[in-house]
Amino acid sequence: MARYAHIKDSVALITLTNPPVNALSAAVRHGITESVTRALRDPTVKAVVLCGENGKFCGGADIREFAGPMTGPAFVPMLDDIEAGDKPVVAAIEGMALGGGLELALCCHYRIAHSKARLGLPEVTLGLLPAAGGTQRLPRLIGIPASLELITTGRHISAQEALKLGIVDQVTDKNACEVAVEFAQRVMDKPLESRRVSQQTVQCPPDLEALLENTMVQVKKRARGAIAPVACVKAVRAAATLPYKQGMERERDMMGTLFNSGQARALQYFFFAQRAVGKWSLPSGACWNNTKPKPVHRAAVIGLGTMGRGITVSLVAAGVSVVAVEVGEKQLQAGKQMVMAILERQAQKKGVAAPLDLLRFSNNLKDIGGVDLVIEAVFEDMALKKQIFKELSSVCKIDTLLCTNTSGLDIDVLASITGRPQQVVGMHFFAPAHMMKLLEVVHGRHSSPEAVATAMSLGKKMGKVSVAVGNCPGFVGNRMLMPYVEQANFLLEEGATPEQVDQALEEFGFAMGVFRMSDLSGLDVGWRVRKEAGLTGPSVAATESPRKRQGRRYGPIADLICEQGRLGQKTGCGWYLYDRPGGREAKPDPWIRRFLEEYRTKHGLKARAIDKQEILDRCLFSLINEGFRALEDGIAAGPEDVDVIYVFGYSWPRHMGGPMFYAGMVGLARVLERLEHYHQAHPDVPSLQPSTLLRRLVASGSPPVQQWRGFIKRMRSQL
Ligand SMILES: CCCCCCCC(=O)CC(=O)SCCNC(=O)CCNC(=O)[C@H](O)C(C)(C)COP(=O)(O)OP(=O)(O)OC[C@H]1O[C@@H](n2cnc3c(N)ncnc32)[C@H](O)[C@@H]1OP(=O)(O)O
Ligand SMILES: NC(=O)C1=CN([C@@H]2O[C@H](COP(=O)(O)OP(=O)(O)OC[C@H]3O[C@@H](n4cnc5c(N)ncnc54)[C@H](O)[C@@H]3O)[C@@H](O)[C@H]2O)C=CC1
């Protein structure tokens, strides 16, 4: 919808009205078309101002409409008519002008932005390109290099940057709409020829070809296999090399391909998934909109190792004052140095002073008495964590929230040590914690809704995407990782090499394959977990078969590698060889090849050729199967939660939507059939046995992922 008003005798004010972001739904496009026609026909109207209701210009096309048939006026002719009109149209940009919203502004003859407005063409993040002339008008307005960067990244920019680039004509701190009306009155008699962006010639840099090629290489590297960024580069090339009309045809053709692609569907699903996880709920019925978080002004972090350092940085960067506690002086100084260096680097980048006054370091747990919240990040050792939680409950004030960063230990056990189990939750960050966006907030049996709300809200304040999950070994992310890693290990036993498995996974779109990732995070992390779980180490009886544990197939290769002191990058070798301890460049290691051959011979295993499809099917489908189990158990609230965890925490390619969305895309029946096939071949691997939820979904005709929550709810209520 759009409201029309005739003001100041000669100006037509057209206001987009479609809360919350005035997206360009069919009704809004209809409203704009009608209002603009009316203004152009009315002889008393000399100029037009376009603005959005509630201080928001326009958030772009209505993404919800993409799933259905396109109705209402088409974008491109609507925008062309505005630009071609003989009366000046001024866009008054408050809040945001994104995607189709910015394209609407680009076809106006002038653009006035409020100083707090954000602008951008984020279509690429939805698997699309700006197909309402964005790829053709923006290069004409601001040149090729800046357009390429904005269109291929989808970055939102400030009004000030937009002014510098020449996207807007003026930035104001006042009401942009009022300023635009005054502006319109001043320009109403001026000629419009030079203001029609589509009529301008593109200024091409002399190194155009090199620039386009470099950008193409960069975008392919940034999102391996993603098709939208590639199309964006091609569309800008068309702007640089073809007349406007032909460029628009190229833009339209490529949009047609992208619009109907699985990648666009995946990315649009993911857009809403990210928003869905913020609307958490607990089995008790408590949820995001009926539970108030407590304010957190002062926090403590216990343990300044890999994780504690990043967590401290994130807290301080969010304006929370922190007491960081380490066990010994040497560890304290090492942690302190690292935290301060990161904070100073961050501040330098922003050109501000590092907020070091928010930081205190201590060797004494008694120094944290007054804090609102504690995050424990000591070694993954239950006995140590129990001892710390016991101390915490005696030194902290009665309402302090006690959180643990454990990767998968039982939150309820830790809660039971304290006198306040309702105030214990998991805050599971991902390494490096000051950079990774994901936070799993783990609710135990006794965690109060207020404790969950507080951790979720603190996560948001720290710039994280927080997902509420239930308590079980590994929670959601690491729980699903176990069968994935297990399959990768079995594949080595059966004849694959680490580089072969990694290559298949990296070609699929992961930033790193399972073995390269393991080398990066340290093989000892998993080794410690397996020892804690009694799968390896002195607790295993000598009579136990090395390839069997608790009646199931077990792959001991990773343990044997660790026993050789090969712990990954930090020791200069793991699954791969590095030029030095701490080296980053992974090279295939002949030692590993020999080791695998000897291992197979020792256990009477015959190596066979394993193709990429088998690697992907076994690794990905076993992970997905565990995702279904987490949904079935209520550990993950919905498929969106699983997908957001995997994209933000485990580098699952975003254009594949996340594992659960991917399962739907591949076809649930196919996932089920493959799991059944592999389970039949490996009956001693329980993680390959298809989950009940997967079976039921298939039996119900494989509903789309958006309907699974309702399905799971019904399934549970029938139990
Ligand atoms: C052949 C076909 C030819 C087609 C022609 C071309 C078509 C195009 O040109 C293509 C496009 O425009 S694609 C859309 C481009 N726009 C965007 O990507 C902006 C998306 N929105 C945002 O970034 C943030 O919501 C934003 C920054 C705007 C606001 O962030 P906040 O954090 O303040 O609020 P959110 O929680 O994100 O959002 C509030 C509610 O609004 C919903 N929403 C946001 N943008 C939407 C949009 N563009 N369409 C539909 N719904 C949208 C959002 O889902 C949320 O809803 P609830 O979760 O229900 O509250
Ligand atoms: N490294 C990773 O990728 C991730 C680790 N985690 C979890 O985070 C926790 C910490 O892991 P990392 O930082 O990797 O370990 P780390 O070994 O790098 O650091 C642990 C730190 O805790 C300190 N510490 C030990 N006892 C202490 C005590 N009584 N008081 C104060 N400090 C003490 C140690 O001196 C050490 O600096 C573990 O529970 C781990 O499972 C969670 C997510 C990812």
pLDDT classification of 719: cutoffs 50, 70, 90: low
93 and 105 Cβ atoms separated by less than 8 Å:
yes
Residue 567 has pLDDT above 90, yes or no: yes
Q: Is 141 in the pocket of ligand 1 (CB under 6 A)?
A: no
- Given pLDDT bands bounded at 50, 70 and 90, which one contains residue 544? confident
Tens digit of pLDDT for each residue in 237-293? Answer: 999 999 999 999 999 999 999 999 999 999 999 999 999 999 999 988 999 999 999
For 298-473, give the CATH class. alpha beta
496-602 and 612-717 share one fold:
yes
Task: Tell me: pLDDT of 148 over 80.
Answer: yes
| Ligand 1 mean position, distance from CA 130 (Å) | 14
Q: For the residues 433-439, what does the mean pLDDT come to?
A: 97
Interval 140-148 mean pLDDT: 98
Task: Find all residues with CB under 8 Å of 647, minimum gap 6, and list them.
Answer: 270, 653, 654, 658
pLDDT reading at 718 higher than 80: no
**Whose CA is closest to 103, among 127, 145, 137?**
137
216 lines ligand 2 (CB under 6 A): no
What is the band of 525 on the pLDDT scale with cuts at 50, 70, 90?
confident
The CATH homologous superfamily to which domain 496-602 belongs is: N-(1-d-carboxylethyl)-l-norvaline Dehydrogenase; domain 2 (1.10.1040.10)
| Mean pLDDT value of segment 531-552 | 88
Of 222-226, 418-422, 448-452, 609-613, the one with minimum mean pLDDT is 222-226
* Arithmetic mean of pLDDT over the chain: 96
- Nearest bound ligand to CA 335? 2
What is the topology classification, in CATH, of domain 2-259? 2-enoyl-CoA Hydratase; Chain A, domain 1 (3.90.226)
Residue nearest to atom 6 of ligand 2 (CA): 407
Alpha-carbon distance of 313 to 338, in angstroms, equals 10
For position 216, what pLDDT does the model report?
98
Nearest atom of ligand 2 to the alpha carbon of 529: 41
Q: How far apart are CA 374 and CA 372, in angstroms?
A: 7
pLDDT at position 572: 97
Q: Which are the contacts of 503, defined by CB distance < 8 A and separation ≥ 6?
A: 513, 612
Rounded to the nearest angstrom, the distance between the alpha carbon of 62 and the centre of ligand 1 is: 7
| Alpha-carbon dihedral sign for residues 447, 452, 458, 459 | positive
For residues 198 and 245, give the distance between their C-alpha atoms in angstroms, rounded to a whole number. Answer: 9
Query: What's at 20, amino acid-wise?
Result: P
Cβ neighbours of residue 686 closer than 8 Å, sequence gap 6 or more? 552
Distance of alpha carbon 483 from alpha carbon 660, whole angstroms: 15
Inter-CA distances, 198 with 109, 124, 312, 509, 594, Å: 11, 22, 50, 37, 64
Determine which residue's CA is closest to atom 57 belonging to ligand 1: 275
104 token code pair: 């609407």
The residue with tokens 């319109």 is: 184
pLDDT over 90 (residue 601)? yes
* 450, two tokens: 């207020």
User: Which of 301, 302, 306 for a ligand 2 pocket mutation test, highest count of atoms within 8 Å of Cβ?
Assistant: 306
- Give 301's strand partners: 324, 375
Helix (H) or strand (E) holding 182: helix 176-187
Percentage of residues of the chain with pLDDT beyond 90: 93
Cβ-count burial of 332 within 10 angstroms (0-12 exposed, 13-18 middle, 19+ buried)?
Answer: middle
Burial environment of residue 329 by CB neighbours within 10 A (0 to 12, 13 to 18, 19 or more): exposed
Query: Where do the structural domains in the chain lie, given as residue ranges?
Result: 2-259, 298-473, 496-602, 612-717
Residue 717 has pLDDT above 90, yes or no: no
- Residue 716 has a pLDDT of 79
Which atom of ligand 1 approaches the CA of 98 most closely?
16
- Cβ neighbourhood burial of 26 (10 Å; 0-12, 13-18, 19+): middle
Verify whether ligand 1 is closer than 6 Å to residue 59 (CB atom).
yes
For the Cβ of 377 lying below 6 angstroms from any atom of ligand 2, the answer is yes
- pLDDT bracket for residue 673 (50, 70, 90): very high
Q: Which atom of ligand 2 is nearest to the CA of 404?
A: 39
pLDDT score for 276: 96
- 228 Cβ closer than 6 Å to some ligand 1 atom: no
Model confidence pLDDT, tens digit, residues 437-495? 999 999 999 999 999 999 999 999 999 999 999 999 999 999 999 999 999 999 999 99
Classify the complex by whether its ipTM is higher than 0.85, answering yes or no: yes
Cis peptide before 20 (omega within 30 of 0): yes
Give mean pLDDT, residues 334-356: 96
User: Average pLDDT, stretch 74-101?
Assistant: 97
> Which of ligand 2's atoms lies nearest the C-alpha of 521?
3
Put residue 551 in one of left, alpha, beta given phi > 0 → left and psi -120 to 50 → alpha. left
- In three-state secondary structure terms, 118 is strand
Calculate helix-pair angle for 668-681, 612-632, nearest 10 degrees. 110
Pocket of ligand 2 contains residue 187 by CB under 6 Å: no
Looking at the domain that runs over 612-717, which CATH code has it been given? 1.10.1040.10
Closest ligand relative to 375 C-alpha: 2
Taking only the tens place, the pLDDT of each residue in 283-319 is 889 999 999 999 999 999 999 998 999 999 999 999 9
